[in-house]
Amino acid sequence: MNEETTKVTVHLLGGEYRIACQPSEREGLLEAACYLDERMLEIRDRSSKLLNPEAIAIMVALNLSYELLERQRQTAESEAIVNRHVRDLLQKIDVVLSKAA
C-alpha cells in the first residue's frame, strides 16, 4: 500500500469490510457501498428463503450487470438515432448551401 492509499470501512449486510482506495475515491466508494448495501438488504428482505451473504451478493451482481448492459444498449440506440439525425441535417445543409452557391 503506497502513501496515497487510505483504508475505508464499509458496511454490507451488517458486516464490516476495510477497503484500500485513493483519498479522491473515498466518497464514491462510500456511496457505492451504501447503494450496494441497500440492494443487498432489498434482496434479502424479498427472498422467501434464507440466502447466505454470498448468494445475495451474486444476485445483486447479476441484477446490476443486467441494468448496466441494458443502459449501455439504450445509450447505443440513442447515439445511433442522434447520429442519423445529424447526418440528415448535414445533408440538408449541404443541399441548401449548394443551391445558394
Q: Is residue 89's pLDDT more than 50?
A: yes
pTM of the model: 0.76
What confidence score (pLDDT) does residue 1 get? 46
| Domains in the chain, number | 1
Give the range of the structural domain holding residue 92, as residue numbers without chain letter.
6-100
Tell me if 15 sits within 8 A of 56, measured CB to CB: no
In a domain, 72, yes or no: yes
Confidence of residue 50 (pLDDT cuts 50, 70, 90): confident
In a domain, 1, yes or no: no
In a domain, 91, yes or no: yes
Tell me if 19 sits within 8 A of 1, measured CB to CB: no
CATH number of 22's domain: 3.30.160.880
Q: Is residue 20's pLDDT more than 70?
A: yes
What confidence score (pLDDT) does residue 3 get? 61
- Percentage above 70 pLDDT, the chain: 97
